[in-house]
Structure 1
Amino acid sequence: MLDYKLLEAFAAVVGEGGFEKGARVLHLTQGAVSQRVKLLEEQAGCVLLVRSSPPRPTVAGQAMLKHFRQVRRLEEDLSAGLGQNEAGFDTLPVGVNADSLATWFFPALDGYLDAEPVLLDLSVDDQAETLKLLKAGDVLGCVADRAEPVQGCRVEYLGDMDYRLYATPSYKTKWYKNGAVLESVENAPVLVFNRKDVMHEVLLGEALGQRPNLRSPFYLPSAEQFAPAVASGRVAGMLLDQQAAPYLEHDEIVDLLPGHVFTVRLHWQCWNLESARLASFTDALVQGARRLLIQRP
């Protein structure tokens, strides 16, 4: 039988990024937290934590954390049902991609967050990467681009996001004066979210018939700043229709590849737990997303 005080200490060290920070959250001494983690490892019969900076769980530690968080979610639901939730709020760890967070995510949940005592602990990554957070047990659910459910999880279709490659008319004149040809595309400065982001390469490859070797990437890991950066005229970039709309209205930007669209199909994946709170959050998110995102068969 696992000692959940020991598990709580282990989870705090991982979640807060260190023994000292974990001890502060638990109102314990650093020595007491260290001793609890050591005792948990002795009970488990294996190393659960890599003592790095910050500490990180081993594969066995990830499994232990996932189990702890699932049990804690169910216990919090039970406490709420019995009227014993002293803090008054439930915290839900959720993974979400940056573009969703910058556009539809909070509008989809406005009514729910106004009505329900829920706090969100958001982890932000690319939609192709958020599933790693779910598999590791770091989040209860995530917005992802995969339709097949992760083992032990349920999945719901949310909707589609369409991206197009935009730039200012002056950028087009300077860099695309001969149109979207390989030489121009490879040398033109292009806005990229991070080194995991390949949407622009895929879209350009589709338009050109071959994948370009982009020599001038401008990295900007901020979804909110993408449209202003494109509108500055310095770079071309992939924008969602709703991000581009205000600039298109005043002819500040143009579509560099008319007829070519990169579509991301978003899904909500979450643990398949008998949790009333997780179920209500899932329903609110799915319904809100389907109001705001493009719906396709």
Structure 2
Amino acid sequence: MTPTNQTASRPTDRPPTQFAKAVRSISIEQLTALQQVVENGGFEAAADELHISQSAISQRIKNLESQIGQIVVQRTKPIRATETGQLLLRFARQITLAQQEVMNLIAKDQNSGAVSIRVAVNADSLESWVLPSLAPVAQCGIALDIRRQDENISAELLRSGEVMAAITAERNPVQGCSITRLGAMPYYPACTPEFRRRWFTGGMTRDSVGEAPLVQYDRNDRMQYNFIHRITPATVHPPTHYVPTSVGYNDAVALGFGWGLIPGSTLPSYSEDRLVTLCDEPVLLPLYWQQWKLSSPSLDSVAQAIIKAGHDALVQ
């Protein structure tokens, strides 16, 4: 394994032309080694995946770091890419995607394997309109690797090269990505009738939202607190339940755990004796599709399916 105290000269220590030449001479083998080390979490697993020795893959990473003058992976468990490593990892995955599509074009009718497309999707979209939209794509030789991620942080997976595209709440495009507005998902604050009688007889006030139990998806979920800020600028800390699945979250609210924001498309599946809304005006969550600026028929097919379905399913 490459020593953790390895030092490398900075790119600024060398003339720009020399550094540019070093970057251009990065080999596919080095990029593949980096990709496998990060994806498998270590040198040994990456070596097994590539059917080479651990010392060989370690040497490729060491040579890559010496060549560009920067560390590309943190020697942790699991191994993680540095900021520079993330840039190269994104490049490596773009090359892998291009290779898969070229093989399909050359092989034509031969079985050359499915092209793999990695996307990040927020849970509520995944549980409602996304999967039906991607069904035709999945039947056309495209293998979908869907990462469930909160819409407020999914753009980070694009920046790191972890995914090729993402549904995100971030309206500014990630560097190197294109962006398309999909629409907005409507959410309504809801709870059981009994819960409303107990906690919100006088409506949703500063005092009631500070005391009534709340259901959150996870600790990245800020939608409920953004809604609370409509009611009061005060900081409140209500008792909170965390239920990290879309169906489980909605059921927890319908079972009386607390109140929460329920997607408008989900509300009709619960009768009025199970769920009632606390406000007639929905909370609108704008969603965007961001993807690599890369010529890829497979990625474009996924994008077209998502964008069309988003325009049909979401509020425009």
TM-score by length of 1: 0.92
Deviations 1:176-228 (A, max 9, x none): 1232122121111100112221111111221x243450321111221221111
Match of 2:268 among 245, 260, 265: 245
Q: Percent of counterpart pairs with the same letter?
A: 31
1:268 corresponds in structure 2 to 289
2:116 corresponds in structure 1 to 91
Q: How many residues align?
A: 291
Query: Distance in 2 between the 1:158 and 1:83 partners?
Result: 35
Match of 2:237 among 202, 211, 214: 214
1:101 corresponds in structure 2 to 126
> What secondary structure is seen at the aligned counterpart in 1 of 2:144?
strand
Query: Distance in 2 between the 1:66 and 1:89 partners?
Result: 20
Query: Distance in 1 between the 2:190 and 2:94 partners?
Result: 43
Deviations 1:108-151 (A, max 9, x none): 1122222x111112222211111111111111111011233222
1:277 corresponds in structure 2 to 298
Match of 2:167 among 135, 143, 156: 143
Query: Distance in 1 between the 2:303 and 2:64 partners?
Result: 33
Deviations 1:41-92 (A, max 9, x none): 2222221110011111111111111111122222222222212775420111
Read off the aligned partner of 2:254 and give its amino acid letter: A
Query: Distance in 1 between the 2:283 and 2:52 partners?
Result: 51
- Given the alignment of the two structures, is residue 158 of structure 1 paired with residue 179 of structure 2, yes or no? no
Do the aligned partners of 1:202 and 1:211 also contact (CA within 8 Å) in 2?
A: no
> What secondary structure is seen at the aligned counterpart in 2 of 1:13?
helix
Q: Map 1:37-56 onto structure 2 (within 5 A).
A: 37-56=61-80
1:65 corresponds in structure 2 to 89
Q: Map 1:227-246 onto structure 2 (within 5 A).
A: 227-246=250-269
Pick the structure with greater CA Rg.
2
Read off the aligned partner of 2:133 and give its amino acid letter: A
1:113 corresponds in structure 2 to 138
Measured after TM superposition, the shift of residue 20 of structure 1 is 2.7
TM-score by length of 2: 0.86
* Alignment RMSD (CA, Å): 1.8
Query: Distance in 2 between the 1:195 and 1:60 partners?
Result: 29
> What secondary structure is seen at the aligned counterpart in 2 of 1:104?
helix
Q: Map 1:163-202 onto structure 2 (within 5 A).
A: 163-202=187-226
> What secondary structure is seen at the aligned counterpart in 1 of 2:95?
helix
Query: Distance in 1 between the 2:273 and 2:238 partners?
Result: 28
Measured after TM superposition, the shift of residue 36 of structure 1 is 2.2
Query: Distance in 1 between the 2:235 and 2:190 partners?
Result: 17
> What secondary structure is seen at the aligned counterpart in 2 of 1:185?
helix
Residue segments in structure 2 that go unaligned for 5+ positions in a row: 1-24
Read off the aligned partner of 1:11 and give its amino acid letter: Q
Query: Distance in 2 between the 1:46 and 1:267 partners?
Result: 34
Query: Distance in 2 between the 1:21 and 1:121 partners?
Result: 20
Read off the aligned partner of 2:276 and give its amino acid letter: V
